Amino acid sequence: MASSTKYSVKPSSKKAKLSKNRKSSSSGLDDSGVSGVTDNLDLYRQMYLIREFELACGENYSKGLIRGFLHLYIGQEATGVGAISTLRDDDYVVSAYRDHGHALARGLDVNRAMAELFGKATGTSKGKGGSMHLFDAAKGFMGGHAIVAGQLPLAAGLALAQQYNDTDALTICFFGDGSTNQGLYHETMNLAAIWKLPILFFLENNMYGMGSSIERVRAGGIDFYPGMATYGIPAAEVDGMDVLAVKEASELAVARIRNGDGPQFIEAKTFRFGGHSVADGQKYRGQEEVKEWEERDPVVTFPAKLIEMGLATADQIAEIKAIVDEAVATAVKFAEDSPEPKLSEIHNDVLA
Number of C-beta neighbours around residue 281 at 10 A: 7
Minimum gap (Å) between residue 130 Cβ and other proteins: 3
Distance CA 155, CA 82 (A): 19
User: Which of ligand TPP, other proteins, Mg ion, none does residue 132 bind (CB under 5 to 8 Å by kind)?
Assistant: other proteins
Is 345 a binder of other proteins (CB under 8 A)?
yes
User: Which of ligand TPP, other proteins, Mg ion, none does residue 98 bind (CB under 5 to 8 Å by kind)?
Assistant: ligand TPP
Distance of CA 4 to the CA centre of its chain: 30
Is 115 a binder of other proteins (CB under 8 A)?
no
Task: List the x/- string, 254-293, binding to other proteins by CB under 8 A.
Answer: -----------------------------xx---------
Is 133 a binder of other proteins (CB under 8 A)?
yes
Q: What is the CA radius of gyration of the chain?
A: 20
User: 309: which DSSP letter?
Assistant: T
Helix (H) or strand (E) holding 335: helix 314-337
Q: Total residues at the site for other proteins (CB under 8 A)?
A: 39
| 3-state class percentages of the chain: helix first, strand second, coil last, to nearest 5 | 45, 10, 45
- Report CA-CA distances (Å) from 43 to 32, 36, 80, 198: 17, 12, 10, 25
Distance of CA 329 to the CA centre of its chain: 22
Is 139 a binder of other proteins (CB under 8 A)?
no
Which of 52, 77, 91, 177 lies at the binding interface for Mg ion (CB under 5 A)?
Answer: 177
User: Which of ligand TPP, Mg ion, other proteins, none does residue 20 bind (CB under 5 to 8 Å by kind)?
Assistant: none
CB neighbour list of residue 269: distance below 8 Å, 6 or more residues apart: 205, 207, 237, 238, 239, 240, 241
Is 310 a binder of other proteins (CB under 8 A)?
no
Site residues (CB under 8 A) for other proteins, limited to 85-114: none
Which of these ranges, 88-96, 189-197, 206-214, 226-234, lies near Mg ion under the rule CB under 5 A?
Answer: 206-214
User: 17: which DSSP letter?
Assistant: P
Which residue type occupies 178? G
Site residues (CB under 8 A) for other proteins, limited to 314-343: 340-341, 343
Contact residues: ligand TPP, CB under 6 A: 98, 146-148, 176-179, 206, 208-210, 276
Distance CA 161, CA 165 (A): 6
C-beta separation of 22 from 39 below 8 A: yes
Task: List the x/- string, 190-209, binding to other proteins by CB under 8 A.
Answer: -------------------x
Cβ proximity to other proteins: between 33 and 274 the closer is 274
Cβ proximity to other proteins: between 76 and 125 the closer is 125
Distance CA 123, CA 134 (A): 9
* Residues at the site binding other proteins, with contacts judged by CB under 8 A: 67-69, 119-120, 125, 127-130, 132-133, 145-150, 178-179, 181-183, 209-212, 216-218, 283-284, 340-341, 343, 345-347, 350
